Structure 1
Amino acid sequence: MHGPLDAHTPGDPAGAGCACPVTADPDGDGPAAAGRRAFLQRAGALGVGAGAAGLLAAPALTTPAHAAGAARTDRGDDDPYGRATTGRGRRGTWRPDPDSPRFTVVVMPDTQYLFDQDRIHPAPVEASFRWVLDPEGRAGGNDENIVFLAHLGDVTNNGLPEEYAAATEVFGLLDRAGASYGVLAGNHDVGDDDQRGATPYLDTFSVARARKRPSHHASSPDGYNTAHIFTAGGRRWLLLALDWRLSEAGFAWANAVIADNPTLPVIVTTHEIVGSHDDGTAGLSEYGQRMWDRLIKGNDQIFLTLNGHYWPPGSTVMKNDAGHDVHLHITNYQDRYYGGAGMVRSYRFDLDRGRIDVATFSPWVRELAAAGQLNELAARELELTSAVDRFSMEIDFTERFSGFAPVAPRKARPARRMLLPGTLAYWRFDEGTPGTDVTAGTVFRDRTGNGNDLELRTVPGTPAHVLVRTGDHHPDQPAHASLVFAGQGGPVSGSYLRTVGKAPLNHETFERGYTFEVFFKVPADWDGGRNGWSALLSRAGTAAAAGKNGPGATPEEPVLTLSLSSSIELQWNAYPLNRNGATTAWSHLLQKEEWWHVAVVNDGRLSKLYVNGCEEGRNPTSRAVGLTSLGLPFLLGGYQWADAVDQVFHGTIGDVRITGRALSPRQFMNA
């Protein structure tokens, strides 16, 4: 049924099964808020001013006679709490990787039906905590990299001391492991707002207990709100675990914590913000509107909120005052078999991909499955795969956080820092005014001082403005300047650069290995027919002139070229000293209007091509020693066929470095 989750006050002897009607509570501060979920379902909308309906509460969970075998075999009648249903497992140790760009925040919603008077069955929660703490026991091992566990309130059903006596023992698993976790009070744990004073909840989850967690940053004076800071993905994150009803003091405290940490992304966890419809859409409850107005919309740092309280699960995205997206999610499974079976939701952050992948499952049911003890209903809870339970969120984290934590652009690095031992030539284009043409007679100096300078060459009949300076550059490029080549093929036109006739590089054979590096970008108007098979860097002289006539040799092609195919694949095609034919490496297809760094590395034996520091898969396994030379120039942006230029590069080229030895990716210019 789509009834309210919370239709009675904490300590109500009737429990969740009471038949007492719920009266309207327009402020949404008291027990009447429990009936609002049903009213919102009937009204077909969630928003400001929604009232409550007098519906009956959902029935409390009792252990079915046919429950999973482990639910009755290991407990023993002398254990009223039903502990160790599937075995306690070994104690975990909290060791998340703070630098990995992939990490997980785990969410556990309402567990109230598992801590309900004499109906206490903590085994599912224990299993979830074991899963969080024991990387060896999880599918995929340490790959989850769990950095935080957030409980969303309604730990217990009635807020009774005996319920917390069972709950505190289970949460002790997290304490003993030194885990970072947050827990907050729901309306079944407490009543009124966070100025209520002492309660069994606060006796259990005290400020003193919170301070022992490695993530603890601050607690509100009343003790009902906590702030946590954890490190993940190489940066710090702030998570607020807020009481189900904030007072004026509570709102002031939460806003102050955010203001005191102005560069941290913020996740808000609390018991109630949004409720949902059956189609998975969601909207603010009346109290949720207060949270939005008083805390969320004005703090751009808040990008994600998580709450329980209502069912079914759902989500919405709203724009804050800064015009940025805030993702608001409700997750709650207490209406499902075995009081939700300790269901957890994992939020898997991947900063490299700009995504958060969400999955929902029951570690307890997984344990039952592994033990061969699944029953029909438990099997349905193994993993939830509907669109509201398993999905992905695309977030450009750099852009989303730029308003409060902008990533400072990498500063230009002086040429001298790029001159590693063995550097033969280094060209950069930061002399001159951006927007001006490169004119006849211009020479770009080899910054090594080795004399491998570049001079301008222009195809006859080429129009003006075909080689222009620009301040555009790869974010990790040492020089913050580049050259825009406006070359074309068929018929060929454009300007390119080549090494001067006396350059030592012209005679270099690289017998001990080499590394060629180029920054480049392909523009939106790049056309495979006109611009394909143009070279970023090539070497004059044909294979035929070098006497290369073995299998795979093409007589008219140059002895070396780093080119782009008509599909914008990088191709390294070179004639080694030890081979009578060419050796070739390829990249994957690259995108237009994106800066790239390419490196070709040879260790004196094998050649490998790297894109953005990543080794490509289409590298040759045949031995390749050195590079054939006819004593002729290198061409930057020019490509010859049968000793005549027949294609000029169309795009932007930044820094270029040639080293007479193999470099590792950490030594590349983009590192």
Structure 2
Amino acid sequence: MLALSLCSSSLAQQPWTLVGIGDTQVLSQSVAGGQAIESMTQWVVDNQQAKNIVFVTQLGDIVQDGLYGRTNAQASSVNNVDEWNRVEAAIAHLENASIPWGTAVGNHELDWVDVIPGVTPSSNWWSSENPGVPVPASGFEGWKQRFGPTTTGRFDDVPQFGGASPDDVDSYFVYNAGGRDYLHIHLQVDVPDTAISWAQGVIDAHAGMPTIVSTHVFEGTIHGPPNHPYLPGSGRNSANQVWDKLINDNSQIFLVLNGHTGQQQHRTRTNAAGKSVFTIVQDYAGFDTGGQNSGYMRLYEFDESNSVLRVKTYSPKLDEYLTTASHQYDLTLDWLTRFDITLVGDLDFNTVIDINDWNLFRTGHLTDLSSLTKLQQYSMGDMDGDGDNDVSDFALFKTAYDNANGVGQFEAMVSRVPEPCSSSLLGACSCSSLIVLRGRLGRCRHGRR
């Protein structure tokens, strides 16, 4: 692993972008709205290289009126073709450009919106609009006919596609971005227990891989979350239950995205391992009502070198950014400590701290590490993440070595190393003058060969 990390180009950590498209339900209802959706996806194609766009995630409610429409209780065939066609036309821009994308299924993709088989609709719209008519069978059959991975086979030739759940509603992708692999899971509205079990199996098969979850209902405070699922029914989960059953104990999950609530909020939560998890809701459907068709979407810019995830909101149709605090902000994320370092001081990542790590540390001491990635800098002894290997890093490495091997073992190891450099480094650490210390370390580094 060390050889691979040191040979990789620092350019591998260039910032990259994940595009988040929220609830397009209102846009799908009109020709002008459909054009606004197409402006989003065409913008992605046009800016893929400039923004280093790696993936597009859609967060549910991709249409407004399900398969059959909302009020026609006697429908015997699809009567909502136009909405689906508009959305598919927009998605075609991505697929024609071979840009991978995925979608989390929302409540408006149900064949009969908000209707779960065998359960009275939560809004009770069915009884009021269709008095005396039994609640019909309803599922995601219309969505599957358009976007179901297994049903349609539309992702078969997408190398980033990993697989779909047995019911063909949930899916996952693995893509390389910024020099590392990411797992991205899309889960249906209210994430049923069956979907959680499937997702856990996917995570187990990709243990340790940085993971993003896109779903329809999670962050937010209305229309269900945090304490209730949006729709009733056995086995459906609230946001709090999804956290407890899936997010909290899987430390590799660091980002959860959703739509649904009409809100623009975010939180940083702490999981069972003490790691940060960013939970973000974006739903701009309210900006599209009344013929506005604004078409705002999110740009999530991952800048690993600067330890920041930048969140921006942009409308290609209006060529306008929303820059107030709820629409644009930065989140601090140190990828190195979050995903790479499992044992501080283990510079070659073999789960032990030994003389090989010490040799790596000595090689990097007082050398120019500025052209390396943060992972490479760490592998050369930058213990405190400030971009160099100096006296403070020496003290940290010595402490880490003794913590792993026993008090006094660092000095014992150094005494067994034949090169004079090791003992000089150890002696120099006790000097009170930083100038004297740097002088000794510099002479040692230049003279040991």
Normalization by structure 2: what TM-score? Answer: 0.66
Q: CA RMSD in A?
A: 3.9
Any residues of structure 2 matched to 1:555-634 within 5 Å, and which? Answer: none
Tell me how far apart the structure 1 counterparts of residues 140 and 263 of structure 2 sit (CA, whole Å): 32
- Measured against aligned partners, the alpha-carbon deviations of 1:190-216 in whole angstroms (never above 9, x if no partner) come to 145699655221111021113333321
Post-superposition offset of 1:132: 1.2
Partner of 2:328: 390
CA gap 1:346/1:196 in 2 versus in 1, 3 angstroms: same
- Identify which of 647, 652, 657 aligns with 2:446: 657
Tell me how far apart the structure 2 counterparts of residues 407 and 276 of structure 1 sit (CA, whole Å): 43
Tell me how far apart the structure 1 counterparts of residues 64 and 45 of structure 2 sit (CA, whole Å): 25
Tell me how far apart the structure 2 counterparts of residues 386 and 320 of structure 1 sit (CA, whole Å): 28
Any residues of structure 2 matched to 1:508-547 within 5 Å, and which? Answer: 534=435
Partner of 2:161: 216
Partner AA of 2:33 in structure 1? H
CA gap 1:211/1:294 in 2 versus in 1, 3 angstroms: farther
Tell me how far apart the structure 1 counterparts of residues 282 and 343 of structure 2 sit (CA, whole Å): 29
Post-superposition offset of 1:144: 1.9
Partner of 1:284: 226
Partner of 1:608: none
CA contact 1:276–1:315 (8 Å) conserved in 2:
no
Partner AA of 1:105 in structure 2? L
1:205 pairs with 2:147: yes
Partner of 2:272: 321
Tell me how far apart the structure 2 counterparts of residues 405 and 196 of structure 1 sit (CA, whole Å): 50
Partner of 2:218: 273
Normalization by structure 1: what TM-score? Answer: 0.45
CA contact 1:274–1:283 (8 Å) conserved in 2:
yes
CA contact 1:102–1:351 (8 Å) conserved in 2:
yes
- Measured against aligned partners, the alpha-carbon deviations of 1:526-579 in whole angstroms (never above 9, x if no partner) come to xxxxx5xx3667xxxxxxxxxxxxxxxxxxxxxxxxxxxxxxxxxxxxxxxxxx
Any residues of structure 2 matched to 1:168-207 within 5 Å, and which? Answer: 168-190=88-110, 191=114, 199-207=141-149
Partner of 1:108: 21
CA gap 1:353/1:247 in 2 versus in 1, 3 angstroms: same
- Identify which of 299, 303, 311 aligns with 1:358: 311
- Measured against aligned partners, the alpha-carbon deviations of 1:209-238 in whole angstroms (never above 9, x if no partner) come to 133333211111111101010001211100
Tell me how far apart the structure 1 counterparts of residues 343 and 221 of structure 2 sit (CA, whole Å): 32
1:307 pairs with 2:258: yes
Long gaps (5+) in structure 2: 1-9, 67-79, 118-136, 229-237, 349-355, 364-393, 399-407
CA contact 2:104–2:186 (8 Å) conserved in 1:
yes
- Measured against aligned partners, the alpha-carbon deviations of 1:594-616 in whole angstroms (never above 9, x if no partner) come to xxxxxxxxxxxxxxxxxxxxxxx
Post-superposition offset of 1:340: 5.4
CA contact 2:14–2:178 (8 Å) conserved in 1:
yes
CA gap 1:265/1:445 in 2 versus in 1, 3 angstroms: closer
1:347 pairs with 2:308: no
Corresponding residue SS for 2:43: helix
Post-superposition offset of 1:405: 10
Tell me how far apart the structure 2 counterparts of residues 408 and 145 of structure 1 sit (CA, whole Å): 32
* Structure with max Cα Rg: 1
Tell me how far apart the structure 1 counterparts of residues 205 and 115 of structure 2 sit (CA, whole Å): 28
Corresponding residue SS for 1:274: coil
Tell me how far apart the structure 2 counterparts of residues 404 and 351 of structure 1 sit (CA, whole Å): 18
Higher strand share: 1
CA contact 1:104–1:148 (8 Å) conserved in 2:
yes
Partner of 1:26: none
- Measured against aligned partners, the alpha-carbon deviations of 1:637-663 in whole angstroms (never above 9, x if no partner) come to 3xxxxxxxxxxxxxx76961379xxxx
CA contact 2:421–2:445 (8 Å) conserved in 1:
no
Corresponding residue SS for 1:304: strand
- Measured against aligned partners, the alpha-carbon deviations of 1:106-142 in whole angstroms (never above 9, x if no partner) come to 10100111112x5662111111112211238xxxxx4
- What is the number of equivalent residue pairs in this alignment? 339
Tell me how far apart the structure 2 counterparts of residues 98 and 240 of structure 1 sit (CA, whole Å): 27
CA gap 1:198/1:335 in 2 versus in 1, 3 angstroms: closer
Tell me how far apart the structure 2 counterparts of residues 408 and 111 of structure 1 sit (CA, whole Å): 47
CA gap 1:408/1:256 in 2 versus in 1, 3 angstroms: farther
Tell me how far apart the structure 2 counterparts of residues 98 and 211 of structure 1 sit (CA, whole Å): 30
CA contact 1:435–1:469 (8 Å) conserved in 2:
no
CA gap 1:123/1:317 in 2 versus in 1, 3 angstroms: same
Corresponding residue SS for 1:345: strand
CA gap 1:294/1:483 in 2 versus in 1, 3 angstroms: same
Name the structure, 1 or 2, with higher relative contact order (CA <8 Å, separation 6+): 2
Higher helix share: 2
CA contact 1:264–1:405 (8 Å) conserved in 2:
no
Partner AA of 2:16 in structure 1? F
CA contact 1:111–1:155 (8 Å) conserved in 2:
yes
- Identify which of 136, 141, 145 aligns with 2:52: 145
CA gap 1:658/1:103 in 2 versus in 1, 3 angstroms: farther
Partner of 2:64: 157
Tell me how far apart the structure 1 counterparts of residues 159 and 227 of structure 2 sit (CA, whole Å): 33
